[in-house]
Amino acid sequence: MLGHPVRIRVLELLQDGPMAVKDLLEAIVIEPSSLSQQLAVLRRSGIVTSTREGSTVTYALAGGDVADLLGAARRILAELLAGQEDLLAQLRGPGVSGASKESS
């Protein structure tokens, strides 16, 4: 369910409060039909709710637990990436940079 980058981005944006679909489109820069599909997945799963006022549809997180889950996932991912950075530095050894050098 959270395996799609657009769904994760939508949830991150909604942590700051409800957003209209047009605002989500501006923030994510995606085809409207693609965003609509991803919002439908989130809505059917109960992670987000939607309300309609006239022609404006607004989405919001269904509860605070979703924001907590995203925060935990972000911390875990940051720790994993930091560990990989350390491992990469160790594998490269002293004095080896990530950029390739051209000989003169």
69-77's contacts with Cβ under 8 Å and 24+ in sequence apart are: 70/8, 70/11, 70/12, 70/15, 73/2
Q: Identify the structural domains of the chain with CATH numbers, from first to last.
A: 5-61 (1.10.10.10)
Q: What is the pLDDT of residues 1-30, one digit of tens each?
A: 667 889 989 998 998 899 999 999 999 989
Give 36-74 pLDDT, tens digit per residue. Answer: 999 999 999 999 999 999 999 999 999 878 878 888 878
**pTM of this structure:** 0.69
Reported as type and span, the H/E element at residue 22 is helix 21-28
